[in-house]
Amino acid sequence: MTPSLWTRLSNPSHFMRWSGASVPWLTVLSLAVLAVGLYQTFFVVPPDYQQGETVRIMYIHVPAAWLGVFFYGAMSVSAIGSLVWRHPLADVAQRAAAPIGAAFTLICLVTGSLWGKPMWGTYWVWDARLTSMLILLLIYCGIIALWRTLEDPNRAARAVAILTLVGAVNLPIIKFSVNWWSTLHQPASILRMGGSTIDPSMLYPLLIMIGAATLGGTTLHLYAMRTEIMRRRVRTLTIREAERLDRVQPRITPQPSTGLPVGQPV
Amino acid sequence: MDLGSHGGFILVAYAFTALVMVALVGNAIRDRRAQLRALKGFGEDRR
């Protein structure tokens, strides 16, 4: 991609044009891939030889975990864009991504817990992978709360960008926690040296579900970015309108006192 | 299809995911409509 094309695509007005045209198509594509993935999950994938039917939880748990981490990674890149280049879309992208990433992280934690109970005999253990994912959810909540606390968008953008970059240290911890510490959570089985350990009959439907979730999440992100741009436009127009009203309002000058009590006819 | 003895866990996991996704998409649509209404109030109707 040439720099000029990138600059054009990331210009807010151009962004509104191309994203407006692509969101409906991306929505249809996401739903189609999701339908194929769900069909494969429930009607094609065989039960696991150890876990039985419970393995079907994996087809929502893994895509949710991937998107929880993916959106935080995207927010970290946007945070650099906000701090270094002060790009107007970087802050918009960051703000729009936080609730989506938080929602997928929550899904990951709850579905993992529901998978853990029949397989491990417990809903929760304080192991490194589970705890680092919980910390990710708390960081997301902190970022969303910080945005709501600071009224000035520029101050909020800088504070959130710094907090996001500090929290990014959690991403490699999430990824490598299963290698660094002895955890109840299984080690990496898709992205690992020597290839995936999952049988192709289960791996390909899982990849389809990951693709569907990524497409759907990206579509929702573009939609939320467009809404965020509109919110900023509303804010600018509100401030402009308030300033205009301030200028046209006649100055209220104190009337000379008539010596009568207030409310008495002159 | 038979989801076995742990079918309840599978169904709750999918139902919870569906619930969160509906809430996420519903909130995004509600927010968009609110911004469009506000823009219309200023005489702008940008989609």
Contact at CB, A99 and B24, closer than 8 angstroms: yes
Does ipTM top 0.85?
yes
- In whole angstroms, what is the distance from residue A261 CA to residue A251 CA? 24
What is the Cα A27 distance to its own chain's centre? Answer: 17
A–B CB contacts, 8 A cutoff, strictly below:
83
List CB contacts of A70: < 8 A, sequence separation 6 or more.
Answer: A101, A214, A217
Helix (H, G, I), strand (E, B) or coil at B24: helix
Distance from CA of B43 to the nearest CA of A (A): 10
List, in sequence order, the alpha helices (H) in chain A: 3-9, 12-39, 58-80, 88-120, 128-149, 153-167, 170-180, 200-248
Output DSSP code: residue A52.
B
Which residue would you say has higher pLDDT here, A251 or A165?
Answer: A165
What is the Cα A209 distance to its own chain's centre? Answer: 18
Q: What is the pLDDT of residues A241-262, one digit of tens each?
A: 888 888 887 666 566 555 555 5
- In whole angstroms, what is the distance from residue A149 CA to residue A56 CA? 40
Q: Is B17 on the interface with A (CB under 8 A)?
A: yes
**Confidence (pLDDT) at A179:** 84
Q: Is A61 on the interface with B (CB under 8 A)?
A: yes
pLDDT average, residue stretch A66-93: 92
Q: What is the mean pLDDT of chain A?
A: 88
Please report where in the chains the tokens 């339908």 appear, as a residue. Answer: A35
Of residues A47, A100, A237, nearest to B24 (C-beta): A100
Contacts of A97 in chain B (CB under 8 A): none
Which has the closest alpha carbon to A82: A148, A170, A153?
A: A153
Cβ neighbour number for residue A198 with a 10 Å cutoff:
17
